[in-house]
Amino acid sequence: MTTELYRIQFAGETLDGFEATDVKNNLQGLFRISDERVESLFDGTIRTLKTDLSFDDANRYRDRLIKAGADVEIVPVAAPQMVAEPESKRSVEAPRAASLSVEPMEAKAEEAEEAAPTPESTQPAAVSKSANRVPPKRPVAKPAETGHLREAPIEFTGNGGEYFGIWIINILLTIVTLGIYSAWATVRNNQYFYGNTRLDNASFQYLADPITILKGRLLALAILVVFVVLSNLYVEASILLGIGFIFAMPWIVIRSLRFQSINSAYRNVRFDFEGKYVEALMALFVWPLLNLFTFMLLTPFVTLKTHRFIANGSRFGTTPFLLNSTAGQYYSFFGKGILMGLVFGLVAWIGGELFHVVLGTLIAVVGYIAVIGYFMAGMTNLYVNSLSLEGHTFSSDLQPGRMIWIYISNSFLVMLTAGLFTPWAKVRMARYRASCTAMIVDGDLDHFVAAEDKRTSALGQELGDAFDVGIAAF
């Protein structure tokens, strides 16, 4: 571990997606300083907000300032301190870099956590939606290197009418070909949604070959037929095949996740998956079995283990993703959801007993919908906000109310139109999910492209395995 000390510098720049006025208000509330003093922070002078920090403390302070919208940098104390010229003083000699001393930042790390206001308390009412998005704590790959932090929102540009043409043709051709065209339908669907999902002015790509997917499905069908025939003829064979299936499933899941990953790309850099067999076996069978023995008390822990298996096994090029969450966060999340359900259940029971059974039923239905929305949105937020990629992090702020409204209204319209609204429903949900998701980019993403050139030659042999089974994070 490095013993080098660091300082936090600020030159009056704001992160993308934040208004300067909002950032000033946020910093004023965070530091509890006067209007004149907060204005002086934005005169173009590079100021040291805090110095002589350990690496972990420096990142902790930087994360708090990022939440306020300030574009700050961590610089080793030993490095020379650069000076920027204020715009109002371009013709005169640049001033010395200034240092700002404020109480929350001068306290010890533990005291600062308690003294500093929460993001909600420092956010003014006029803060935009993107400003309210709170990026998670960010590990930095190289302590001595820093980059320009910016928020890169994810966008979905597809529309229901356009996708309807693809969707209806896929259905008709799949029926006419007795299911054979389903492999091509899968590729066309994925290519449409990947191609219309954009990050930092570039679209994602789906590169799978329909023939490979069809071969995988035919192989799975053949295995299923053999299993059914042998099970009917020999009871012992069904038992042996069942046991064999348990040990084969982790391998199949890994191959499926890898097939989906290496056929997904961004800026011509392929994703990858390198999960271990033992981790897959634990996530699929061992942890769920232990959960049953503990009367489902391990559910948050099992969910965390599954998320870690998926996230930590994933790669972008040669760079691994990392899930930074803890078991405590998952137990807190599940505990709040269970408490919400119990409160609604109690209120529904009281309403039914004291007033009318119809009222109790309505409250129970509302509670059920609220809990479902909480888990639908919260599980995604919990996973995405804990994810990092070599110093880059991700942000998700799905709202339970909005999420459940889209889900219910989509279901109603799909039933009302006998399924014809399905393309619009999928596009609507994809657009909302994208609008609530962003990547906090530290520097740029160009270095991933260089790493890809060293890896592509090893991918050819892996493209032949395709299985339509797997597990998902949410």
DSSP string, 250-285: HHHHHHHHHHHHHTEEETTEEEEE---HHHHHIIII
Together in a domain, 123 and 183 = no
Tell which of 131, 146, 176 closes a domain: 131
* pLDDT(414) > 70: yes
Tell which of 131, 162, 191 closes a domain: 131
Q: What is the pLDDT of residue 229?
A: 86
* pLDDT(102) > 70: no
Together in a domain, 125 and 160 = no
Together in a domain, 299 and 384 = yes
Q: What is the pLDDT of residue 439?
A: 93
Q: How confident is the model at residue 242 (pLDDT cuts 50, 70, 90)?
A: confident
Q: What is the pLDDT of residue 32?
A: 67
Q: How confident is the model at residue 90 (pLDDT cuts 50, 70, 90)?
A: very low
Higher pLDDT among residues 208 and 462, named by residue: 208
> Is 146 part of any domain?
no
Q: What is the pLDDT of residue 112?
A: 39
Please compute the mean of the pLDDT values over residues 363-368 and round it to a whole number: 92
Together in a domain, 201 and 108 = no
> Is 271 part of any domain?
yes
* Percentage of the chain lying above the pLDDT 90 cut: 45
> Is 468 part of any domain?
no
CA atoms of 100 and 11, how far apart (whole Å): 12
* pLDDT(86) > 50: no
Q: How many domains does the chain have?
A: 2
Together in a domain, 105 and 199 = no
CA atoms of 94 and 72, how far apart (whole Å): 20
Please compute the mean of the pLDDT values over residues 205-228 and round it to a whole number: 87
**Between the CA atoms of 99, 100, 102 and 104, what dihedral angle is there, to the nearest 10 degrees?**
-80
Q: How confident is the model at residue 449 (pLDDT cuts 50, 70, 90)?
A: low
Q: How confident is the model at residue 35 (pLDDT cuts 50, 70, 90)?
A: confident
* pLDDT(356) > 50: yes
Q: How confident is the model at residue 470 (pLDDT cuts 50, 70, 90)?
A: low
Together in a domain, 69 and 211 = no
> Is 201 part of any domain?
yes
Higher pLDDT among residues 9 and 104, named by residue: 9
* pLDDT(258) > 70: yes
Q: What is the pLDDT of residue 198?
A: 95
Together in a domain, 127 and 164 = no
Q: What is the pLDDT of residue 292?
A: 94
DSSP 43: S
Q: What is the pLDDT of residue 467?
A: 54
Q: What is the pLDDT of residue 85?
A: 44
CA atoms of 253 and 469, how far apart (whole Å): 6
Q: How confident is the model at residue 114 (pLDDT cuts 50, 70, 90)?
A: very low
CB 208 within 8 A of CB 263: yes
- Helices within 157-276 (DSSP H only): 160-176, 182-195, 210-233, 235-262
Lowest mean pLDDT among 77-86, 151-160, 278-287, 312-321: 77-86
Q: What is the pLDDT of residue 39?
A: 82
Q: What is the pLDDT of residue 87?
A: 43
Highest mean pLDDT among 86-90, 137-141, 149-153, 290-294: 290-294
- Helices within 16-152 (DSSP H only): 20-31, 35-40, 55-67, 103-106, 109-115, 119-122, 129-132
Encoded tokens for 252 = 């199949």
> Is 418 part of any domain?
yes
Residue 322: strand pairing partners: 388
> Is 139 part of any domain?
no
Q: What is the pLDDT of residue 160?
A: 94
The values of phi and psi at residue 211, to 5°, are -60, -40
The values of phi and psi at residue 387, to 5°, are -90, 140
Name the strand (E) or helix (H) holding 155: strand 149-156
CA atoms of 385 and 330, how far apart (whole Å): 13
- Name the residue type at position 385: N
- List the domain range (segments joined by +) for residue 90: 6-131
> Is 143 part of any domain?
no
Together in a domain, 116 and 187 = no
Q: How confident is the model at residue 12 (pLDDT cuts 50, 70, 90)?
A: confident
Together in a domain, 103 and 167 = no
Please compute the mean of the pLDDT values over residues 54-64 and round it to a whole number: 75
CA atoms of 327 and 322, how far apart (whole Å): 15
CA atoms of 25 and 44, how far apart (whole Å): 18
Please compute the mean of the pLDDT values over residues 345-352 and round it to a whole number: 93
Burial (0-12, 13-18, 19+ Cβ within 10 Å), 357: exposed
Q: Three-state DSSP class for 57? A: helix
CB 474 within 8 A of CB 379: yes
Q: Three-state DSSP class for 348? A: helix
Together in a domain, 122 and 161 = no
CB 471 within 8 A of CB 313: no
pLDDT 10s digits, 171-202? 999 999 999 999 999 999 999 999 999 998 89
Rounded (5°) CA angle 166-170-176: 145
Chain-centroid distance of CA 273 in Å reads 17
CA atoms of 4 and 224, how far apart (whole Å): 60
Together in a domain, 207 and 127 = no
CB 261 within 8 A of CB 208: no
Tell which of 131, 146, 162 closes a domain: 131
The values of phi and psi at residue 321, to 5°, are -80, 160
Q: How confident is the model at residue 304 (pLDDT cuts 50, 70, 90)?
A: very high
> Is 12 part of any domain?
yes
CB 287 within 8 A of CB 278: no
Together in a domain, 51 and 160 = no
CB 62 within 8 A of CB 72: yes
Chain-centroid distance of CA 58 in Å reads 24
* Percentage of the chain lying above the pLDDT 70 cut: 78
* pLDDT(103) > 70: no
